[in-house]
Amino acid sequence: MADFTKEIEKRRTFAIISHPDAGKTTLTEKFLLYGGAINLAGSVKGKATARHAVSDWMEIEKERGISVTSSVLQFNYDGYCINILDTPGHQDFSEDTYRTLMAADSAVMVIDASKGVEAQTRKLFKVCVMRHIPIFTFINKMDRDANDTFDLLDEIEKELGIATCPINWPIGSGKKFRGVYDRTTRKVLTFSDTQKGTKEGVEEEIDVNDPHLLDVVDEDQKDTLLEEIELLDGASAEFDQEMVSKGELSPVFFGSALTNFGVETFLKHFLQMTTSPLPRVAEGNEVDPMKEDFSAFVFKIQANMNKAHRDRIAFMRICSGKFEAGMDVYHVQGEKKMRLSQPQQMMADDRHVVDEAYAGDIIGVFDPGIFSIGDTVCTPGQKFAYEGIPTFAPEHFARVTQLDTMKRKQFVKGINQIAQEGAIQIFQEAKGGMEEIIVGVVGVLQFDVLKYRLENEYNVEIRLEMLPYEHIRWIANKEEVDVEKIIGTSDMKKVRDLKGNPLLLFINSWSVGMTLDRNEGLVLEEFSKN
């Protein structure tokens, strides 16, 4: 028993969030470098480091240099076992990020030092605040010209409404970036070239009063640093572990992921400031991660990770106990006992079979098509379900027609599999079949990904016709209302989802209001819980 709790205490599970291009994937790579998981770190762009990042494994990701799906990476460092959930930064894939945040215990927010807080960061941040999860800030790209450091902190506090506490402080930026000052040890960490970040850098610690410091920084920089330290000590919030754990105070670190500087310092501090896996809520009760009984929930489904086998993987976050390969589990939503086959841990598309895993870990299991996002599996005899993961209302709709009717089988299979992953939502006309379907997405880039994946993975060509609808509503009281008799406006369309639930599509919000006025007792909802 003792070893099993020790294993759980070692676990740290966090998600990395940011606006596109702030350097999130590059930072993930550098963590892996320090964890000894890879020997040479790749970056998303750049000829000098012409390896693709480990976490970008889909063809389309390598082509466009952006992350489209979240990936899960595990490595060991300094006696800890770390699970990183790398999320797509692009807003068109934000749904994937929201779900991933459900599986993490803390979040690392990466901010570009020259751009500050951007739109997507705000959105994701709100989800973290909603869940009260600890947020750590890494201000990246100090090796380029950056905004004033105090202004950056002010912006984070103003925009995101969270207090900040700088743990270290940058000295210069761009070509004049010399290193960071650690506020706890009162030493300066200097910065050395790392062959464009592919190797670990050599760091040197120099006391702030050591005359040798002037060999590294010029006189003006030293004077500025001493002034800023004085200001900081007087003005910034004190570090308070309790507030960090509640998600009310964000520790801030500075560095450059591309050149590896500041990454290891950040990792060390982060591990000290975070806790082992947190309890999760199931049916109103908290489930203790240290409990012996195994339980987990599915937060992501990914089809075709392996082209040769056309398989589907359901990703589960283990919430309590210990998982062992070959054990019997109970699938709550499917109401049946089963064995989780081929349990594996990932290194993006590289995978290895696991014999055991503990609370806090993420495992991928083969899914024959029985799991949905939000499902719970637990030890037989225990029957409880973790809280569902919200489905976000799509904002863009298109009619999808297949060009070659002979490939109907592949088309239906492809569409259904991609929909089960949660990247798109499929609707059928109230009286139509699968010949013509309507696809709804959160961001228009998802249409490109759908088209690309259907052609490349299922060999099916499609035509997309954009539709003018912008609002979708679930009928909350469908048992009490005769859907056929709903009187709507001329632009309203009745559709149903894959589970046969009735939905209404509208072009504008005025029509939503009119429909509610015309149908007494009708209740419409913007979200649906999985």
Q: Residue 65's pLDDT is what?
A: 43
Asked if 55 and 30 touch (Cβ cutoff 8 Å), the reply is no
Residue 251 has pLDDT above 90, yes or no: yes
What CA–CA distances, in Å, run from 334 to 281, 293, 342, 376, 530? 20, 19, 19, 9, 14
Mean pLDDT is highest, among 42-46, 133-137, 341-345, 393-397, for 133-137
DSSP 267: H
pLDDT at residue 66 tops 50 = no
Region 56-64: mean pLDDT is 48
Report the share of the chain in percent with pLDDT over 90: 3
pLDDT band at 57; cut points 50, 70, 90 = very low
- Looking at the DSSP bridge assignments, the partners of residue 296 are 318, 377
Task: State the DSSP code for 248.
Answer: S
Q: pLDDT class for 435, splitting at 50, 70, 90? A: low
pLDDT per position as a tens digit, 354-410: 788 889 888 888 887 788 888 889 888 887 888 766 666 788 899 988 888 888 888
Dist CA 297 CA 468 (whole Å): 36
Given the structure tokens 């009260």, which residue do they identify? 132
* Residue with the larger pLDDT of the pair 347 and 116: 116
Q: What is the pLDDT of residue 88?
A: 57
Kindly tell me if the per-residue pLDDT of 44 is higher than 50: no
Enter the tokens of residue 174: 């761009």
Q: Which of the four pLDDT bands, split at 50, 70 and 90, describes residue 184?
A: confident
Q: What is the DSSP letter of 387?
A: P
Least confident range of 43-57, 299-313, 317-331, 492-506? 43-57
The pLDDT, as a whole number, for residue 173 is 79
Calculate mean pLDDT across residues 197-223: 73
pLDDT at 45: 37
Mean pLDDT within 498-511: 84
Task: State the pLDDT at residue 136.
Answer: 92
pTM: 0.74
Contacts of residue 308, Cβ cutoff 8 Å, sequence gap at least 6: none
pLDDT value at position 210?
Answer: 78
Mean pLDDT estimate for the chain: 78
What's the pLDDT score for residue 253?
A: 92
- In this structure, the strands spanning 493-496 and 524-525 are unpaired
- The secondary element (H helix, E strand) that includes residue 331 is strand 328-331
> How does residue 39 score in pLDDT terms, banded at 50, 70 and 90?
very low
pLDDT of residue 351: 64
241 has pLDDT over 70: yes
Which whole number is the average pLDDT over 99-122? Answer: 82
pLDDT tens for 121-175 read 776 777 777 778 899 999 888 888 888 888 989 988 888 788 899 998 888 878 8
Q: Please give the pLDDT value at position 122.
A: 73
Specify the pLDDT at position 252.
93
Going by pLDDT thresholds of 50, 70 and 90, the confidence category of residue 42 is very low
Instruction: Please provide the size of the chain in residues.
Output: 530
Domains of the chain and CATH, by start: 14-65+106-273 (3.40.50.300), 280-378 (2.40.30.10), 390-529 (3.30.70.3280)
pLDDT for the residue numbered 124: 73
Contact, 313 vs 302, CB < 8 A? yes
Is the per-residue pLDDT at 67 higher than 50? Answer: no
Closest CA to 94 of 387, 451, 444, 347: 444
pLDDT at position 309 is: 52
Give the residue, 482 or 109, on which the prediction is more confident.
Answer: 109
* % of the chain beyond a pLDDT of 70: 81
What are the pLDDT digits (tens) for 447-498? 888 888 888 888 999 888 999 998 888 888 877 778 788 888 888 888 888 7
Instruction: Name 220's Cβ contacts closer than 8 Å, sequence gap at least 6.
Output: none
Which residues lie below 8 Å from residue 83, measured CB to CB, with a gap of 6+? Answer: 11, 12, 13, 14, 72, 73, 74, 360, 361, 362
Q: What CA–CA distance (Å, rounded) separates 43 from 59?
A: 15
Looking at 125-129, 321-325, 326-330, 413-417, which range is the least confident one?
125-129
Range from 107-121, 144-158, 180-194, 195-209 carrying the lowest mean pLDDT: 195-209
